[in-house]
Amino acid sequence: MRNLALFFSAVSLENNSVGEIYDFISEALRCKTVEFQPESIKFQFGPGEAYAPKVKDAGGDVYVKNLEDALEAIKIIVEQGEGRRTTVDVSVYDDKSHEEKSHYARFKVVKKQLDKVIIKVWDLPTDPELLPYPDNLQAVSELFNASYTYLLRTIDLLYLTAGDDRKKLIWTGMFPIMTNILPNVAKTLIREKLPGGKHAAPKFQFYKFQAGKWNEQILQLYQNAVFVNNSHGKLLERLALVLIPIQNLHDLQLSHNLQKPSEESSLKPSSARSTKDCAQCSCSTFPGKLNSKPGTKRNRANK
């Protein structure tokens, strides 16, 4: 996989869409003939383990055991982002039954609505890291930073965790942080006006946890934010939305079922075939520029 990374960095890309980027990745995988290790499955997200599509034929999670699985996963990513491929273009739907629109189609609808409708926009600082916050908002900001750092650490651990502990990391760690705690703490901040007229905003800074349980430290930060804002009724109402999710957070220090993937568990290039032997794709002259195949129309609005 390291050789593939060097290979990608040496190629000059002029991609105009997500689809073109993944076309390049697909062709590169074919030409480099990487070897996939099935034992790495326990470190992957499989069907039913994390997320599932609302519409049954709109994709889903795929275990990547071989090249065919990898290409299928890439196909799903492109369809969910830009829509299903047709003969010369892409559809606005990411499922065969045309029940679920792609992300790109949804964003186009939002843009069209924004062009016609006047909406309230919060006046946020360009770089909130440069602004000092009042003590009461600094406490909320630290709660956000700690939660964000917890999320990043959770994602790290998912690549080293197997079994039931992996499920705990997802459902009582990553999922509540992403869907409840971070959004609601961020909304709490942006509704508060700073001296000078701007509104507060999340800083997304690294938070250095002390030795001990991270979930308990986040709870302490929440309690401190509530204490210093005891006279701010509306702010306290918004913070109350994250109390139960914080109380139920998984303790990262108790993730005991950690396994370091061995060298054999990673993807590695095969010496069985060189790129010069690959005559069925446009990448036989790597390193260089990958050209789109003639006659293929792309959705170039997704820049």
Q: Tell me whether residue 177 is in a domain.
A: yes
- For position 196, which CATH number holds? 1.20.1260
- Cα-based torsion angle of the residue sequence 55, 61, 65, 70 in order, rounded to the nearest 10 degrees: 70
What pLDDT, in 10s, does the model give residues 202-236? 999 999 999 889 999 999 999 999 999 998 989 99
For residues 142 and 222, membership in a common domain is answered with yes
Q: Give the integer Cα–Cα distance in Å for 196 and 198.
A: 6
Asked if pLDDT for residue 270 goes beyond 50, the answer is: no
For residues 156 and 241, membership in a common domain is answered with yes
**Domain assignment of residue 231, given as a range:** 128-254
For residues 147 and 108, membership in a common domain is answered with no
Mean pLDDT highest for which of 61-70, 85-94, 148-157?
A: 148-157
% of the chain with per-residue pLDDT over 70: 69
- Higher-confidence residue: 40 or 7? 40
| Model confidence band, residue 295 (pLDDT cutoffs 50, 70, 90) | very low
What average pLDDT does this structure show over 114-132?
83
For residues 10 and 77, membership in a common domain is answered with yes
For residues 19 and 94, membership in a common domain is answered with yes
Per-residue pLDDT at 33: 66
| Model confidence band, residue 58 (pLDDT cutoffs 50, 70, 90) | low
Q: Give the integer Cα–Cα distance in Å for 108 and 101.
A: 11
For residues 108 and 193, membership in a common domain is answered with no
- Residue 239 exposed, middle or buried by CB count within 10 Å (0-12, 13-18, 19+): buried
Per-residue pLDDT at 104: 79
Q: Tell me whether residue 41 is in a domain.
A: yes
Q: Tell me whether residue 30 is in a domain.
A: yes
Q: Tell me whether residue 288 is in a domain.
A: no
Per-residue pLDDT at 84: 64
- Alpha carbon of residue 183 to chain centroid: 15
Q: Tell me whether residue 142 is in a domain.
A: yes
Q: Tell me whether residue 282 is in a domain.
A: no
For residues 89 and 171, membership in a common domain is answered with no
For residues 139 and 233, membership in a common domain is answered with yes
For residues 20 and 97, membership in a common domain is answered with yes
Q: Give the integer Cα–Cα distance in Å for 239 and 241.
A: 5
> Are residues 148 and 182 in contact, defined by beta-carbon separation less than 8 angstroms?
yes
% of the chain with per-residue pLDDT over 90: 31
Residue 29: closest CA among 6, 56, 63, 1: 1
For residues 13 and 94, membership in a common domain is answered with yes
For residues 233 and 141, membership in a common domain is answered with yes
Q: Tell me whether residue 122 is in a domain.
A: no
For residues 64 and 27, membership in a common domain is answered with yes
Tokens describing residue 187: 């909304």
What pLDDT, in 10s, does the model give residues 19-33? 778 888 888 888 866
- Cα-based torsion angle of the residue sequence 168, 174, 179, 183 in order, rounded to the nearest 10 degrees: 140
Q: Tell me whether residue 121 is in a domain.
A: no
How many structural domains comprise the chain? 2
| Model confidence band, residue 288 (pLDDT cutoffs 50, 70, 90) | very low
Per-residue pLDDT at 7: 52
Tokens describing residue 221: 């930060």
